[in-house]
A = this chain, B = another copy of it.
């Protein structure tokens, strides 16, 4: 690994550094790790194989959890009739400005041979920005009796929201997601579901992505269009901005009334159902990148990494012995497990220098790199690098010890990444009780503005009357959530006070932050 040992002040793989220009660093990490790229379609990305493999892991784990909590998958149309969008007033208000509209159903060459849209549709369709309306229509036909309830359905799909300013994974016009849509006989049951799915998400972010989050209700200005309550869980990125990871909505009877979803209850009365919806997206990957990565590229928590170990054979003239050793090692490692799943290993036989190859896997965030050459085989040892340690801090380990301890090592790495992210969040979450302090907290000092790193989570008293307050607009700060519990982050939340912005009564503290 010449590149890394040649000088004491080694070059990093990513330029600029996080501390120099955070947004540009993010783009460069994604490029260097080959996760995704912009496409020729405005605001849409191509998710490349390494990025998609992370998404496949996310899907696998979440899908299992959805099924364990009683849900089944189904699939509803991509297109939504315009008339459906109009049925729920807040909903259409929230999405009308970002809908891709299908107006024609064929192409025809004009007199110059240029293709033009042809075959105009009587009623245009929009590409689903979310599916409450089209699914609500189905539920109104499927649900007749209390025996048909609850309906617990999830959909894995692509959706489209025409965004003007896009950023890979964080905000793209098309993105991949899952959207759960459930219908219940009672308000209580629907509310329990809303809470349950937030927990499913949050546990997933914690246990698999190693991302700590704050969770709670959204303030009215931040609710999903058409929801009675929106629950959210939000992570803090390394620039101290908040990233909304996913949301779970209690929709009350709003969509049930808009789409006439009624059932005959046990008491013989016809009633509207109570519905929920909950979604999370490829944005997880952006959050993963921004939580753990460093100036050498992507850092992947082992549990979500497509591959956990790369074996790099040092190939000279006669390589058959080295390759056989690597194949055996791969099998032995795959017989080990991390939290009950077999360890994922691959051998990189590509024809390139060891240095280049090693750096490639550093940038891609592979948790463990193993080099194997004839001398290692002679000593029955392997040369091991960990992505959570310095690139040059590699150690020679006896093969048997390496194999035996691999599950523990990976688990330790996973826990370490979470602990580091959690410490960072705690360090940058502050209880704030004056407007001056609030303004200072969210005002960049010195180079902060240029590198776009400042602020954090401010826990302050708040009243609904503060919505739209000029200071918030000026600082580009928004309420992220009203946290669930006072214990969670070791700070007082459910306490009486005075709203920082209006001086009115406040019953609860709210977390404010700059947000993606």
Binding site for B on A (CB under 8 A): 39-41, 44-49, 51-53, 55-56, 72-82, 84-86, 92, 96-109, 115, 117, 119, 124-127, 134, 137-138, 147, 153, 157-158, 160, 162, 174, 176, 350-351
Contact = CB atoms under 8 A, between A and B. Distances in A.
A101 B77 contact: no
Given A72-B49, A73-B49, A115-B92, A174 B78 contact: yes
A103 B118 CA distance: 11
Contact of A101 (B103, B160, B162): B103
A158 B78 contact: yes
13 contacts: A39-B76, A40-B84, A41-B77, A45-B77, A46-B74, A46-B76, A46-B138, A49-B72, A51-B74, A52-B74, A79-B174, A101-B117, A104-B124
B75 A52 contact: yes
Nearest to A97: B106
Contacts of A119: 162
Contact of A103 (B40, B92, B117): B117
Contact of A41 (B45, B125, B174): B125
Contact of A78 (B44, B86, B107, B124): B44
Contacts of A55: 75
A312 to B, nearest CB: 16
Contacts of A81: 40-41
A99 B39 CA distance: 20
B106 A98 contact: yes
Given A82-B107, A115-B82, A147 B76 contact: no
Given A40-B81, A47-B74, A137-B40, A115 B103 contact: no
A505 B224 CA distance: 69
The 5 A-B residue pairs with the shortest CB-CB distance, nearest first, are A44-B77, A49-B72, A101-B104, A47-B75, A96-B107
Nearest to A99: B107
A106 B96 contact: yes
A115 B81 CA distance: 11
B105 A100 contact: yes
Nearest to A103: B103
A105 B101 contact: yes
Contacts of A53: 72-73
A14 B101 CA distance: 40
A103 B121 CA distance: 12
Contact of A85 (B79, B101, B115, B138): B115
Given A49-B73, A174-B79, A117 B107 contact: no
Contacts of A162: 105-106, 119
B73 A52 contact: yes
A79 B46 contact: no
Contacts of A84: 40
A48 B74 contact: yes
A253 to B, nearest CB: 22
A100 B79 contact: yes
A201 to B, nearest CB: 21
Contact of A73 (B56, B80, B105): B56
A99 B106 contact: yes
Q: Which of A75, A119, A137, A138 counts the most chain B CB atoms within 10 A?
A: A75
